[in-house]
Structure 1
Amino acid sequence: MRFLRQGLTGLFLLSLTLGLLAYAGQTIMSAIEERLSRETRVPERRERVFAVRTTLATEATITPELTAFGQIQSRRTLEIRAQATGTITELSPDFIEGGQVRAGQFLARIDPADAQSALDRARTDLMDARAEEREAARALTLAQDELAARRDQAALQERALARQRDLESRGVGTLTAVETAEYNVVQARQAVLAGRQALAQAEARVDQAATAAARAKLALSEAERRLAETRINAGFSGTLSDVTLVAGRLVSANEQLARLVDGTALEVAFRVSTPQYARLLDDSGALLPAPVTATLDAFGLDLTATGTVTRQSAAVGEGQTGRLIFATLDSAPAMKPGDFVTVTVEEPRLERVVHLPADALGPDGTVLVLDTGDRLEALPVNVLRRQGNDVLVRGEGLSGRAVVRDRTPVLGPGIKVRPLPTAPDEETDEETVTLTPDRRARLVAYVESSPDMPDAVKQRLLAQLGQPQVPAQMVERLERRIGG
């Protein structure tokens, strides 16, 4: 009985389990059929609208600026070299590094003893040559007088010969007297010939004396030049640099003693690429006299000088590219030869161009403009210049359109956008910061105590630090210098 009861219980549990499984399967099948038979509903989607900043494209006449880096140098630089060998016996107090000298000012003297002795000998030789000239002139006069006397004697002998011949023809004279007269004539003629030779020698002596005097004058001139070379003077007004001379030093000929630099005749040399160089040429291929601005960063304050492009290098140079351009600076008292500056060159003006931020230009050379219904439209443009973070473009139908300032990958043609109002200060290029009283006092104390800053630079920095808004770039540079 126990076995039968357990068997029936197990059979009941098995039947109950199978029934529950069948019910569950039926329920699942019903749910699936109901799901499949239900119609698919598409949820309603709303179009996403992006907020963008825009700028109005306005055509204008703009002067592009070419930016390069250059070095200040002087148009007049003189190497002061010793022209003679000797010991420095005298030195000007201004002959030092950084000394300011005037044109023709005495700088140094080399021992002139040998040159002075050579000059005295040359003067003595010239005196001897001039004495020889006077003696030769007197000898020439005597030779001329002697020749004239001998010619008179010859004429007298010829008249005596004629008289003897006349007496002989009348039978009064003798043949012996005639022969004696003829012999005297021949001797007189020989005396005249000897006088002419003496005159020629006297004339040659005069020529030789003149040549000797000319040589003596040349020797005297050279001796005077040698003596003048022992005195070193400034060729023009300027500043001395690379000074290696001290009093008592022995110098050799052609040894460089210093360099004289004209600080008022400055120019800047800068290198540009070939396409940039081509934009600085006129229609005939000549270099334009474009205005130039050289900027020197000095303790956070930019020192500027203006000038004009004047010339270009004759050759590219080995291992170089582009072109080397030279610009003459008008006035740059705070700049020195060797300073590295930022050069800004004004290119020829461009007509009917639009100035846009560089972020507004896409990689495909298009900009996004607002169409009807605040939807974006791609408009192709021609990029004429790149000016830092901006571009100068020209495109058909671009003028007067609202252009997206900041282009992102999610923006494209047909996208609906919502233009944001442009704040007045969004166009400001220079970033400014507000300083706390402690931070401002720290910067002012550094500027006032700095021994390297010129007074003019200190005054400008202190004036800017006294403003409520201070340029952030200047603050950053000053704090970097003081380790802040």
Structure 2
Amino acid sequence: MRFLRRSLLGVFLLSITLALLAFAGNTVRVAVQDRMNAEPRSFPERERVFAVNIVEIEPQTIEPVLTVFGELRSQRSIDLRSAVGGTVLEADPSLIEGGVVTAGQLLMRIDPKTAQASRDRVAADLQDAQAELRDAERGLVLAEDELTAAQAQAELRAQALTRARDLETRGVGTTAAVETAELAESSANAAVLSRRQALAGAEARVDQAATRLARAEIDLAEADRALDETEIFAVFDGTLSDVTVALGGRVTPNERFATLLDPTQLEVAFRVSTSQYARLLSGEGNLIAAPIKVMLDASGIGIEASGVITREGAAVGAGQTGRLIFARLDSAAGFRPGDFVTVSVNEPALDNVALVPATAVAADGTVLVVNDEDRLEVRQTEVKRRQGDDVIIAAAGLVGERIVAERSPLLGAGIGVRPITGGESMDEPAAPETVVLDAERRAKLVAFVTDSRMPEEAKTRLIGQLEQDEVPAETIARLESRMGT
């Protein structure tokens, strides 16, 4: 009985367990079906608004600045060459690299012995030519006298023939006497002809002697010039470069031993593209005299000079593109020929344009405009020039509009934005930070600038800044970094 009771109890418990499992499975199934058949829950959507920096378009007149690189050259330069060869007997102490000379200064004297000997030989040849001319002139005088005597003799023979014929006509003279007189006259005429030939020869000798004398004088002048060219003088005030000769050295004829440059008359040569060159042309197609600025960065201190465009290269050149432009510098303090400088050219002014950040304009020339509802619109514009991190665009159709200063891939037409206006104008940079110096620190900085190798203009400008009550912090930091403090 106990076994039967326990068996029935086990069957009962098993039935209850299976029933509970079936109920639980059915509950899970119903829950899954309800979850799958139920509509998804919907939450209220909120539009995302982006904060953007904006720039208001105001039409203005702007002079674009074209920035290129160029090289300084001297407008006056000359190669110093030795016309004659020989040993350098004397050399001026300024005949060194970078030596400063004045016009008419004796730079070098070459041994004149060879030139002097040649000059003496030519002078002797000149004396021979002069003696030959004098002898030829005396011979000409004698030939003229002989011709005069021969003509007088011929006249006497003609008179004798006339008398002989007259006597023969009157029957007093004989035919033989007439024939003798005719022969005498003929001989006298032949003598006159011979003397004329001698006179012509004497005149030709005089001409030849005169020609020889002229050649001798020319040779003497060349010899004197060669003797003078043993001394070489400076043509104008300037600085020497590429000096290759020294005292005791030997030079050959036409050898270049130095180059004389005028550092006060400098010009800058720079190359521009064809499109940039087209913007520098006037309405008649001529290159305009546009003002320029040249800057040389010397140890963090910029040296600047102004100038004006003067001419352009005659040819493009093999393997080159664009145009080569030349500009004259008004002042060249601190500059030297060969300096690689930055050239800023002021182009003709553009009217009705605006200067905006380059990040505000897309590659296709479109900008994003913020409308009255603070939503973005795409507008097309024309990019006139690119100025570093900014661009100059046409203001037509955008006057008074607000455009996005910095575009991003998240921004597009119809998107809502929150405009942010910058506190400072793009064209007006913030004032530089200044520092009040104490007396000791100011004295150290002034002494450093005074003892440095800066150009005098840069020294004057920096000392003037340091003497102010407040000095720009950037200037102080730059000077102290160079002092090693």
TM score, norm. by length of structure 2: 0.89
Give the corresponding residue for 2:331.
Answer: 331
Q: CA deviation at 1:111?
A: 0.7
SS in 1 for 2:398: coil
Aligned amino acid, residue 310 of structure 2:
T
Give the corresponding residue for 2:379.
Answer: 379
SS in 1 for 2:392: strand
Give the corresponding residue for 1:103.
Answer: 103
Q: How has the CA–CA distance of structure 1 residues 16 and 468 changed in structure 2, closer, same or farther, with 3 Å as cutoff?
A: farther
SS in 2 for 1:424: coil
Give the corresponding residue for 2:345.
Answer: 345
Give the corresponding residue for 2:419.
Answer: 419
Give the corresponding residue for 2:321.
Answer: 321
SS in 1 for 2:135: helix
Distance 1:243 1:431 in 2: 50
Distance 2:232 2:2 in 1: 143
Give the corresponding residue for 2:157.
Answer: 157
Deviations 1:427-476 (A, max 9, x none): 445895678989x999949954874433433443455577554449x957
Q: CA deviation at 1:295?
A: 1.1
Q: CA deviation at 1:207?
A: 0.8
Give the corresponding residue for 2:214.
Answer: 214
Give the corresponding residue for 1:287.
Answer: 287
Deviations 1:195-240 (A, max 9, x none): 2122112111111111111111111111112112211122222110
TM score, norm. by length of structure 1: 0.89
Q: CA deviation at 1:266?
A: 1.1
Q: Is the 2:446–2:463 Cα contact (8 Å) retained in structure 1?
A: no
After the TM superposition, which of the residue ranges 78-87 and 318-327 deviates more from structure 2?
318-327
Give the corresponding residue for 2:233.
Answer: 233
SS in 1 for 2:356: strand
Q: Is the 2:437–2:471 Cα contact (8 Å) retained in structure 1?
A: no
Give the corresponding residue for 2:122.
Answer: 122
Distance 2:210 2:323 in 1: 60
Aligned CA RMSD, in angstroms, stands at: 3.2
Aligned amino acid, residue 409 of structure 1:
P
Q: Is the 2:369–2:379 Cα contact (8 Å) retained in structure 1?
A: yes
In the alignment, structure 2 segments of 5+ residues that lack a partner are none
Distance 1:76 1:208 in 2: 47
Aligned amino acid, residue 225 of structure 2:
R
Aligned amino acid, residue 305 of structure 1:
A
Q: What fraction of aligned residue pairs are identical, expressed as a percent?
A: 51
Q: Is the 1:447–1:462 Cα contact (8 Å) retained in structure 2?
A: no
After the TM superposition, which of the residue ranges 68-77 and 272-281 deviates more from structure 2?
272-281
Q: CA deviation at 1:84?
A: 1.0
Q: Is the 2:147–2:192 Cα contact (8 Å) retained in structure 1?
A: yes
Give the total of aligned pairs.
481
Q: Is the 1:287–1:311 Cα contact (8 Å) retained in structure 2?
A: yes
Deviations 1:290-326 (A, max 9, x none): 2221111122222111222222233333333322222
Give the corresponding residue for 2:255.
Answer: 255
Give the corresponding residue for 2:191.
Answer: 191
Q: How has the CA–CA distance of structure 1 residues 405 and 476 changed in structure 2, closer, same or farther, with 3 Å as cutoff?
A: farther
Q: CA deviation at 1:357?
A: 0.8
Distance 2:319 2:110 in 1: 44
Give the corresponding residue for 2:409.
Answer: 409
Aligned amino acid, residue 235 of structure 2:
G
Distance 1:9 1:138 in 2: 180
Q: Is the 2:292–2:306 Cα contact (8 Å) retained in structure 1?
A: yes
Give the corresponding residue for 1:50.
Answer: 50
1:68 lines up with 2:68 in the alignment: yes
SS in 2 for 1:263: coil
SS in 2 for 1:246: coil
1:83 lines up with 2:91 in the alignment: no
SS in 2 for 1:202: helix
Q: How has the CA–CA distance of structure 1 residues 369 and 468 changed in structure 2, closer, same or farther, with 3 Å as cutoff?
A: farther
Give the corresponding residue for 1:457.
Answer: 458
Give the corresponding residue for 2:363.
Answer: 363
Give the corresponding residue for 1:204.
Answer: 204
Q: CA deviation at 1:105?
A: 2.3
SS in 1 for 2:243: coil
Q: CA deviation at 1:258?
A: 0.8
Aligned amino acid, residue 202 of structure 1:
A
In the alignment, structure 1 segments of 5+ residues that lack a partner are none
Q: CA deviation at 1:407?
A: 1.4
Q: Is the 2:70–2:269 Cα contact (8 Å) retained in structure 1?
A: yes
Q: CA deviation at 1:24?
A: 3.6
SS in 2 for 1:399: coil
Aligned amino acid, residue 270 of structure 2:
F
SS in 2 for 1:45: coil
Deviations 1:319-352 (A, max 9, x none): 3332222222222121111111111112222222
Q: How has the CA–CA distance of structure 1 residues 470 and 464 changed in structure 2, closer, same or farther, with 3 Å as cutoff?
A: farther
Distance 1:185 1:322 in 2: 93
Q: CA deviation at 1:180?
A: 3.5
SS in 2 for 1:328: strand
Distance 2:101 2:451 in 1: 29
Q: CA deviation at 1:89?
A: 0.9
Distance 2:452 2:351 in 1: 49
Distance 2:192 2:37 in 1: 163
Q: Is the 1:263–1:336 Cα contact (8 Å) retained in structure 2?
A: yes
Q: Is the 1:446–1:482 Cα contact (8 Å) retained in structure 2?
A: no
